[in-house]
Amino acid sequence: MLSETALKQTPLYHEHVRLNAKIVPFGGWEMPLQYEGILAEYNSTRRDVAVFDTSHMGEFLIEGDLQESGLDRLVTQRLSDLAVGACRYGALLKEDGGVLDDLIVYRLAQAKWMVVVNGATMQKDSEQFMRIVTAKDKFTNISFSTGKLDIQGPKSRDLLSRFIKGFEKLTFYTFAECEVLGTKAIVSRTGYTGELGYEIYFPWERTPELWNKILSLGAKPAGLGSRDVLRLEMGYSLYGHEIDENISPLEAGLERFVDFDKDFIGKAKLLKEKKEGSKRHLIAFVSLSRRSPRSGFKIYSSDGQEIGVVTSGTFSPALEKGIGLGLVNAGCAKKDEKIFVGEGSGSIEVAITPRPFYKKGTFRN
């Protein structure tokens, strides 16, 4: 019997152990941080192809009309004109405008949807969906029957085309139901790395088979460590860092994923914020040296005032410099301005820069 605090394992846990992965707790799951090493896995993804276990992520199915089911009210993004076979990124908010989660909505059929959420937040997301979705039997949490692999890198299409057909023409943020190892699976042209890549949703218990097939074709296994560096070079938000229940999507710079022409939970609060102006905003910055900003470092203006906090930071192998994202008080930091991040005495000089940090990603190729 598992205790409530026991960490959950993905269907690939034993594969990770067999590959000698460094396993760490992440959002309630035992996940691989790295196998060969973060930089090697980063390089495989940017130059070749790598596979990530993302089975910890949650998946919900909703059957029914967009409005009647309540789905439309749950998501900030416009979904009414989403084509069958396409997906869209958006946010799930509380009434007060804080972010419960970021998610991707897939339109599987005219009146059938799949929602993909973060692993750590899956339970509270599910509770929110259950409160709002009108016909309870039309909401199914399939998180524990659905495994997920991310195959990412410029050679991901070539690799998958060796055993999957009918996905090759997919454009960014579209998907197809394909036959994968004898079973129907969703192959989605999405990812979190900035490279050409796919996410495959697959039956939980058969996920090791798919994982080993992909490794046997030459993909390198990659862990959370490289995944974080890759997403941060793209300037993508990570739940619990750039967005959480106390950060609004406007503060986080996600306004383009919010449709003010429709109704959604939290809209009144966001409209008010939009009118009055956000108190904070997210900035991206690059270190002038190889020193890396770290999550939790304070941000100081050039005259030494404390103006905010670093939400994510790492070393960027592409830039060979430290990079980071952070929330600063409104009006405090302007483009190209030199500011400082640090803790205690040692601080790092950084320059504010537009996102993404990495501009050569193949994700739209």
**Span interacting with other proteins, options 30-38, 112-120, 156-164, 246-254, rule CB under 8 A:** 30-38
Q: Which is nearer to other proteins, 241 or 291 (CB)?
A: 291
Transcribe 257-318 into DSSP letters.
G--TTS--TTHHHHHHHHHH--SEEEEEEEESSSPPP-TT-EEE-TTS-EEEEEEEEEEETT
Q: Is residue 225 near other proteins by the rule CB under 8 A?
A: yes
Q: Which is nearer to other proteins, 125 or 233 (CB)?
A: 233
Going 123 to 53 to 35 to 8, the CA torsion angle's sign is positive
Sketch the per residue contact string, 104 through 143, with other proteins: x for CB under 8 A, - otherwise. Answer: ----------------------------------------
Going 204 to 137 to 108 to 74, the CA torsion angle's sign is negative
Q: Is residue 290 near other proteins by the rule CB under 8 A?
A: yes
The nearest distance, CB 229 to other proteins, in angstroms, is 6
Rule CB under 8 A: choose which of 186, 229, 323, 325 binds other proteins.
229
Q: Is residue 341 near other proteins by the rule CB under 8 A?
A: no
**Span interacting with other proteins, options 32-40, 85-93, 249-257, 276-284, rule CB under 8 A:** 32-40
Q: Is residue 39 near other proteins by the rule CB under 8 A?
A: yes
Residue 198, judged by CB atoms within 10 A of its CB (0-12, 13-18, 19+), counts as buried
How many residues contact other proteins, by CB under 8 A? Answer: 15
The nearest distance, CB 31 to other proteins, in angstroms, is 14
DSSP state of 255: G
Cα 180 → chain centroid:
24
Q: Which is nearer to other proteins, 229 or 250 (CB)?
A: 229
Strand duo 347-353 + 280-287: pairing: antiparallel
Rule CB under 8 A: choose which of 145, 161, 183, 289 binds other proteins.
289
Cα 259 → chain centroid:
20
Q: How far apart are CA 243 and CA 282, in angstroms?
A: 10
Rule CB under 8 A: choose which of 128, 292, 312, 347 binds other proteins.
292
Binding positions for other proteins, rule: CB under 8 A = 34, 37-39, 225, 229, 289-292, 294, 314-315, 317, 322
